[in-house]
Amino acid sequence: MGWGFHDPFLEEIERVRQLSSRISNEEATKQHLILPLLEKLGWRVNDPAEVYPEIKTRQKKRPDFVLLVDGVPVAFLEAKSARNSVIRRGKVSPTYARQLMGYCFGEGVALGILTNGVQWVLMEAFKLWTRPEERVLTMVDLRTTRLEEAANELLAFTRRNIRLYYRRFGYHLGEEPVYGFYYEF
């Protein structure tokens, strides 16, 4: 193929494309579209030390997932039903972007992921003089983007690349795992 992607990754994108029209609510979107794709992106979705659902923040909010590396929250993921567009006319939904950025601001987490399982948006929380919807690092619509191009865009969401984003700013994850979450069991 020339792109260096493993066939299982491309097959997962194709599976998401085909299955998405049969998914009708947010919970089904999380289980059948988002979590399997996160796993292909290198996240251990069955490890609560890495992907934790519905964790309560200090503001008493519950983002759909927090992604952690070495016990440190590195991104919030806000899920929407596959039937709700998070990208409209080439732009991220301002309402959803503001909701996601609110989670990030409140906890000091630099990255947020907004997705309906088919459309994926990676956003920076802390960017001066910009509205939340202007903080997009990358976005991709798996239904309308060529398969290889979609796979290339999704690489930004890998565990490795999220970790590297923080390293660019001198954060070596795991050295000081101090954060404001508490688990409710």
174 inside domain: no
Please state which of the ranges 8-12, 30-34, 181-185 shows the lowest mean pLDDT.
181-185
Can you tell me which residue has the tokens 């989670």? Answer: 103
What CATH number should be reported for the domain holding residue 20? 3.90.1570.30
Residue 12 lies in a domain: yes
Range of the domain at 60: 7-167
Residue 87 maps to a domain: yes
What 3 state SS string does the chain have? Answer: CCCCCCHHHHHHHHHHHHHHHHCCCHHHHHHHHHHHHHHHCCCCCCCCCCEEECCCCCCCCCCCEEEEECCEEEEEEEECCCCCCCEECCEECHHHHHHHHHHHHHHCCCEEEEECCCEEEEEECCCCCCCHHHCEEEEEECCCCCHHHHHHHHHHHCHHHHHHHHHCCCCCCCCCCCCCCCCCC
Bridge partners (DSSP) of residue 92 are: 87
Which pLDDT score is estimated for 173? Answer: 59
Give me the percent of the chain exceeding a pLDDT of 90. 69
Is the residue at 13 inside a domain?
A: yes
Residue type at 172 in one-letter notation? H
Q: Looking at residues 27-35, what average pLDDT do you find? A: 98
Alpha-carbon gap, residue 165 to 21, rounded angstroms:
33
Is pLDDT at 180 greater than 80 in this prediction?
Answer: no
Query: What pTM does this model have?
Result: 0.87
pLDDT at res. 185? 29
Query: pLDDT tens for residues 131-174?
Result: 877 889 999 999 999 999 999 999 999 999 998 888 887 665 54
Among residues 56, 59, 38, 34, which one has the least CA distance to residue 47? 38
Per residue in 37-95, pLDDT (tens digit) is 999 999 999 999 999 999 888 888 899 999 999 888 999 999 999 999 999 999 999 99
Residue 181 placed within a domain: no
* Domain membership flag for residue 138: yes
Please give the pLDDT value at position 6: 54
Please give the distance of CA 176 from its chain centroid, rounded to a whole number.
23
Predicted local distance difference test score (pLDDT) of residue 184 = 40
Report whether pLDDT(178) > 70.
Answer: no
Sole residue written with tokens 């001198």: 170
Structurally, the chain folds into a number of domains equal to 1
